[in-house]
Amino acid sequence: MKILVIEDNLELAQNITEYLQREGYVCELADSHAKAVNKLGAFAYDCVVLDIMLPDGNGLDILRFVKNEKIKSCVLIISAKNSLDDKVIGLELGADDYLTKPFHLPELNARLKALYRRKYIQGDKEIFFNEIHINMDTMETLVNKQLLELTRKEYALLVYFLTNKNRVLTRQSIAEHLWGDYADNLLNFDFVYQHVKNLRKKIIQAGGKDYIETVYGLGYKFNANRG
């Protein structure tokens, strides 16, 4: 997957590109409106990560450019401006998703993967990993061809783990992924522990390997190299 990151803050842009590059993506960077338009005109990208506030223009104009030029990239808006208007205008202009700064990098990764799957791998919305098989359309999860009875949250958690294999996922990032805005109000992250515990138990009961490990002090990691 080829991604263009349009972000004027270099540190932030580096965080994003470094994280996504480890995923094996090709990541390019544009730190201004002009550069972004140039790059978008010259090259094709699968996904565009777009910051709304740019030094020489509004990110929404780039979004208009993408739509006018019929560029086939999916656009994920990232903005520190947690304004409802931006969100509504962005989505109305045809952005595919919206993420508010500060976000967790695994969350950005998961959103991009979901966008990519939705847009480019139509009819093939399945995830295969060793003995685990997920059908994204029917939300069916099979382990060793045995159907797993997962709750919606457990299902979302498993997909989140699989999109961020071999990475440390903090309890906060998991909570925010599963509960969105409501995660703000949670006193502690015991319920993350509960969901992870249940998911592990269900996978192991179906004869799957115990991929999910607890990273002491940090959170959890889906270790693809286990076994």
Stretch that binds another protein, among 12-20, 34-42, 68-76, 118-126 (CB under 8 A): 12-20
Q: Looking at beta carbons only, is 26 or 215 nearer to another protein?
A: 215
182 binds another protein per the rule CB under 8 A: yes
The answer to whether the beta carbons of residues 61 and 33 sit under 8 Å apart is yes
- Pick from 111, 167, 177, 202 the residue near another protein by CB under 8 A: 167
Walk across the sheet containing 140-143 and list its strands: 126-129, 132-135, 140-143, 146-148
Site string for another protein, 80-99 (x = CB under 8 A): xxx-x---------------
Strands annotated E in 38-167: 47-51, 53-54, 57-58, 74-79, 97-100, 126-129, 132-135, 140-143, 146-148
- Pick from 42, 68, 184, 225 the residue near another protein by CB under 8 A: 184
Which residue in 55, 42, 43, 46 sits closest to 7, CA to CA? 55
165 binds another protein per the rule CB under 8 A: no
The answer to whether the beta carbons of residues 24 and 83 sit under 8 Å apart is no
223 binds another protein per the rule CB under 8 A: no
22 binds another protein per the rule CB under 8 A: yes
- Pick from 5, 25, 104, 158 the residue near another protein by CB under 8 A: 104
9 binds another protein per the rule CB under 8 A: yes
Q: Looking at beta carbons only, is 59 or 208 nearer to another protein?
A: 59
> 48: which strand partners?
4, 75
The rounded distance, in Å, linking the Cα atoms of 52 and 33 is 10
For 67-80, b/e burial (b = at least 16 CB within 10 A) is eeeeeebbbbbbbe
Neighbours of 186 (CB within 10 A): 15
Stretch that binds another protein, among 18-26, 113-121, 134-142, 203-211 (CB under 8 A): 18-26
Name the residues that contact another protein, by CB under 8 A.
Answer: 9, 11-12, 15-16, 18-19, 22, 80-82, 84, 101-106, 153, 167-168, 170, 172-173, 181-182, 184-188, 190-191, 194, 215-218
